[in-house]
């Protein structure tokens, strides 16, 4: 049998060198592409950071001026409200002063009448006790009727015909 020998060709030194050079050149191009991508990324990041800083600065300025305007308007409104309150207080004080000057004489006269013109009366408990013991007590007596109407603030300050009739 004839033996067939296959000969494998071994790469020669030149071919081996050319392949390595091609690989090195490809690696260098790959590194250049990567470096360019990194530089582009850094440029884009710087640009994005600058735009973001500009946007933040603009936002702050816009809102700071808005806040300043709101504070000024609140101060103005506060001053208006304070002025209105002062006017209302002054009007109320003037109204009370007028009421005092109008009713001063009648109040002093009424107080003097109450102090000077004392009309002695038997206390209603004693009257009720006497009525019970004499057998003439009725549940709706004059004292009970008088208790139904409670005095108001105007009764104590402004004499009316009803309060005058009670005094005399």
What span, in angstroms and rounded, lies between the C-alpha atoms of 147 and 142? 9
* pLDDT of amino acid 7: 52
Kindly state the average pLDDT of the residues 17-27. Answer: 91
Q: Which residues does 162 contact at the CB level (< 8 Å), separation at least 6? A: 155
What percent of the chain shows pLDDT beyond 70? Answer: 74
What's the confidence (pLDDT) of residue 144?
A: 53
pLDDT number for residue 163 = 47
Please give the residue that has the higher pLDDT: either 6 or 130: 130
The percent of residues in the chain predicted with pLDDT above 90, rounded, is 58
Distances (CA, A) of 111 to 103, 105, 118, 155, 158: 12, 10, 11, 12, 11
Residue 47 has pLDDT above 50, yes or no: yes
CB atoms within 10 A of CB 143: 13
Instruction: Give me the pLDDT at residue 19, please.
Output: 87
Over range 64-71, report the average pLDDT: 92
- Per-residue pLDDT at 69 exceeds 50: yes
Lowest mean pLDDT among 5-14, 24-33, 58-67, 127-136: 5-14
Rounded to whole angstroms, the Cα distance separating 61 from 67 reads 10
For residue range 108-158, list pLDDT tens digits in order.
Answer: 999 999 899 888 888 989 988 999 999 888 876 555 555 556 656 555 554
Q: Read off the pLDDT of each residue in 32-51 and give the average, rounded to a whole number.
A: 96
pTM of the prediction? 0.35
């Amino acid at each position: 049998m004839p033996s067939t020998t296959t000969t494998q060709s071994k790469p020669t030194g030149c071919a081996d060198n050319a392949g390595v050079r091609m690989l090195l050149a490809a690696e260098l191009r790959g590194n250049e592409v990567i470096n360019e991508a990194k530089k582009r990324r850094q440029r884009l990041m710087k640009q994005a950071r600058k735009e973001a800083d500009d946007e933040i600065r603009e936002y702050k300025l816009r809102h700071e001026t808005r806040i300043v305007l709101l504070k000024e308007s609140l101060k103005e409104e506060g001053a208006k409200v304070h002025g209105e309150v002062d006017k209302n207080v002054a009007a109320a004080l003037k109204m009370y002063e007028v009421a005092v000057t109008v009713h001063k004489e009648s109040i002093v006269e009424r107080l003097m009448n109450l102090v000077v013109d004392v009309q002695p009366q038997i206390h209603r408990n004693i009257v009720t006790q006497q009525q019970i013991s004499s057998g003439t007590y009725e549940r709706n007596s004059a004292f009970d009727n008088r208790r139904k109407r409670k005095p108001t603030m105007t009764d104590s300050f402004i004499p009316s015909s009803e309060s005058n009739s009670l005094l005399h």
